[in-house]
Amino acid sequence: MLNLGILISGRGSNMESILKAIKKKKIPINPAIVISNKPDAKGLKIAQKIGVPVEIVESKGFKGTRAEYDKKIISTLTKYGVTPRNGLVCLAGFMRIISPEFVKKYKNRIINIHPALLPAFPGLDSQKQALEYGSKVSGCTVHFVDTGMDTGPVIIQATVKINEKDTEESLSKKILKEEHRIYPEAVNLFARKKIRVSGRKTIIG
């Protein structure tokens, strides 16, 4: 069976939705490890409660390069069987840019969730960007991670409507609900080997 590693930095609600779906929906993947770059990430306690091992690879104060930090992440993933041959890495609110070395080593095996309809509003504060732009819809995107910023092949997207009364908070809440639906779905598709990458596109099924 595939081994799953989830990287977090904070709240961990997407991580929680994935871990719960694995149990409930019998997704054929072993939740091997949750890694946080921050020792106080709330998600760590949630993972422990669910019974998944956790590790902290602290990034604050780390003196080396991005690639050197990622080497530490890779060796932790490897320790738990999340390898380029037999692993899937989910970024779930992991607030760090991944080095090209890491991306290349785990080619098409690292996925991320972004709270906008990519390629619109990449980077930070996507919900705020969508509101300020005056968009009528936004949503979320699960995509493979490549060496660009939120540019990898799209796996699943979901839309939400934006109305005049929406605030950053209300829009984020609506989008998060969809995130919790589509991220586990993408993990399920990956675990069942139903995603094929062809250039910029993914073929599902």
Using CB under 6 A as the binding criterion, the count of chain residues that bind ligand GRF stands at 13
Out of 115, 139, 152, 184, name the contact with ligand GRF by CB under 6 A.
115
Of residues 182, 185, 205, the one with CA closest to residue 195: 205
Out of 6, 46, 57, 92, name the contact with ligand GRF by CB under 6 A.
92
Rule CB under 6 A: say whether 152 interacts with ligand GRF. no
φ, ψ dihedrals at 7, nearest 5°: -105, 130
Active site residue 143: no
For residues 107 and 134, is the Cβ–Cβ distance under 8 A? no
Rule CB under 6 A: say whether 12 interacts with ligand GRF. yes
**Catalytic, out of 114, 143, 174, 180:** 114
Q: Which residue is nearest to ligand GRF (CB)?
A: 93
Rule CB under 6 A: say whether 10 interacts with ligand GRF. yes
Rule CB under 6 A: say whether 117 interacts with ligand GRF. no
For residues 176 and 115, is the Cβ–Cβ distance under 8 A? yes
Q: Nearer to ligand GRF by C-beta: 94 or 106?
A: 94
Rule CB under 6 A: say whether 113 interacts with ligand GRF. yes
Out of 69, 179, 188, 189, name the contact with ligand GRF by CB under 6 A.
179
For residues 105 and 78, is the Cβ–Cβ distance under 8 A? no
Q: Nearer to ligand GRF by C-beta: 177 or 196?
A: 177
Q: For the range 85-89, what are the long-range contacts, defined as Cβ-Cβ under 8 Å and sequence gap of 24 or more?
A: 86/2, 86/3, 87/2, 87/3, 87/4, 87/5, 87/32, 88/2, 88/3, 88/4, 88/5, 88/29, 88/187, 88/190, 88/191, 89/4, 89/5, 89/6, 89/7
Catalytic residues: 114
Site residues (CB under 6 A) for ligand GRF? 8, 10-14, 92-93, 113-115, 176, 179
